[in-house]
């Protein structure tokens, strides 16, 4: 069956056309052949007809990335027997339709397969005999065996879409991280100069400097939130030897004279390491 060579969801239209052609060759004349795909909850289904490549039907297949989708149509309310046939596994043969949801005088056959039903109809009463029903059941069985191919395709498309979204978010995150880093560097200079200015400012000038400091701190917090959203914040806290950090700071500040009462002759082991975001 052509379903084994499918490459994308819309190729299912070709599968339906192939089934329809085989039915015709075997003497099962019909006006329409349709595959119904039912979601796993049995609350909705989409139809694929070999003679219907309407935009709505094609779009329904293209956005079908899982068989557990939420209902987005009223198909179950309009054609409740589709779900009944699928759940029971019993073929439904109607010699002449009288239901208001269908045109009168149609002959219908619905046969269940693994993920829905295979259906044909003909605008003629008593158009299908028992041989046609048996043939439909056999084709539905073959469809069940080949349908995992369709499931694999929609799963592949779902994973590809997830990867595309992940890559897009990663690119946005990298851009945000770069911008945040540059703003953070500028804010460091601004905050440092404002803190120096606040040491000598008095009166109204001191109030203005304090307002600028508060606004700068808020801006720094906002940048921190941006970095969190871009997943570029520091990693989870872990033990860190504090004396190593102190020694590194002292070595970098060797040009600054610091008067100390005592200078340790050697590095002492940390008895209580502090937690650091590494």
- Which candidate, 29, 31, 58, 28, places its Cα nearest to that of 46? 58
The CA distances from residue 100 to 54, 91, 162, in Å, are 24, 21, 43
- Which candidate, 45, 27, 54, places its Cα nearest to that of 110? 45
pLDDT score, position 21: 93
Through-space distance between the first and last CA atoms of the chain, rounded to whole angstroms: 58
Q: How far apart are CA 140 and CA 116, in angstroms?
A: 9
Q: How far apart are CA 136 and CA 122, in angstroms?
A: 14
Strand order in the sheet with 32-38: 45-49, 32-38, 116-122, 107-113, 92-94
pLDDT score, position 114: 93
pLDDT score, position 238: 57
Per-residue pLDDT at 118 exceeds 90: yes
pLDDT score, position 37: 93
Mean pLDDT calculated for residue range 34-59: 78
Assign 240 to helix, strand or coil.
strand
Lowest mean pLDDT among 95-99, 123-127, 163-167: 163-167
Q: Cα angle at 102 between 100 and 108, to 5 degrees?
A: 130
Residue 184 parent element (H or E): helix 148-200
- The answer to whether the beta carbons of residues 67 and 46 sit under 8 Å apart is no
Q: How far apart are CA 61 and CA 154, in angstroms?
A: 9
The CA distances from residue 62 to 10, 57, 73, 100, 155, in Å, are 7, 9, 16, 31, 12
pLDDT score, position 33: 94
> Which residues are bridge partners to 111 per DSSP?
118
The alpha-carbon radius of gyration of the chain (Å, integer) is 35
The interaxial angle of helices 12-25 and 130-146, nearest 10 deg, is 150
Spatial neighbors of 105 by CB under 8 A, at least 6 apart, are: 96, 97, 123, 124, 125
Mean pLDDT calculated for residue range 39-67: 73
In this structure, is the dihedral angle defined by the CA atoms of residues 261, 267, 270 and 271, taken in order, positive or negative?
negative
Q: Which of residues 163 and 243 earns the better pLDDT score?
A: 163
In the structure, what pLDDT confidence band is assigned to residue 150 with cuts at 50, 70 and 90? confident
Spatial neighbors of 92 by CB under 8 A, at least 6 apart, are: 81, 84, 85, 108, 109, 110
* Residue 38 token pair: 């039912």
Per-residue pLDDT at 234 exceeds 70: no
Q: What are phi and psi of 65, to 5 degrees?
A: -105, 0
Per-residue pLDDT at 260 exceeds 60: no
pTM: 0.60
- The answer to whether the beta carbons of residues 36 and 46 sit under 8 Å apart is yes
Percentage of the chain exceeding pLDDT 90: 32
Lowest mean pLDDT among 181-195, 218-232, 238-252: 238-252
The interaxial angle of helices 203-229 and 148-200, nearest 10 deg, is 160
């Amino acid at each position: 069956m052509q379903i084994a060579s499918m490459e994308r969801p819309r190729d299912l239209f070709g599968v339906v056309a192939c089934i329809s052609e085989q039915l015709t060759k075997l003497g099962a004349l019909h006006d329409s052949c349709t595959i119904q795909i039912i979601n796993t909850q049995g609350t909705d289904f989409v139809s694929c007809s070999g003679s219907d490549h309407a935009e709505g039907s094609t779009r329904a297949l293209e956005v079908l990335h899982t068989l557990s989708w939420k209902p987005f149509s009223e198909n179950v309310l309009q054609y409740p027997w589709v779900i009944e046939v699928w759940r029971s596994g019993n073929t439904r043969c109607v010699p002449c339709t009288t239901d208001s949801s269908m045109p009168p005088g149609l002959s219908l056959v619905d046969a269940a397969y693994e993920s829905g039903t295979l259906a044909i109809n003909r605008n003629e009463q008593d158009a299908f005999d028992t041989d046609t029903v048996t043939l439909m059941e056999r084709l539905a069985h073959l469809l069940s065996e080949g349908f995992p191919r369709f499931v694999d395709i929609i799963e592949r498309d779902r994973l590809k879409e997830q990867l595309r979204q992940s890559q897009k978010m990663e690119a946005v995150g990298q851009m945000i991280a770069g911008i945040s880093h540059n703003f953070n560097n500028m804010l460091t200079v601004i905050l440092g100069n404002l803190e120096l200015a606040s040491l000598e400012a008095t009166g109204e000038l001191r109030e203005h400097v304090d307002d600028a400091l508060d606004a700068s701190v808020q801006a720094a917090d906002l940048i921190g939130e941006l970095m969190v959203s871009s997943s570029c914040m520091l990693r989870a806290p872990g033990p860190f030897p504090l004396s190593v950090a102190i020694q590194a700071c002292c070595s970098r500040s060797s040009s600054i004279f610091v008067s100390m009462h005592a200078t340790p002759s050697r590095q002492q082991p940390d008895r209580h390491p502090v937690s650091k975001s590494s």
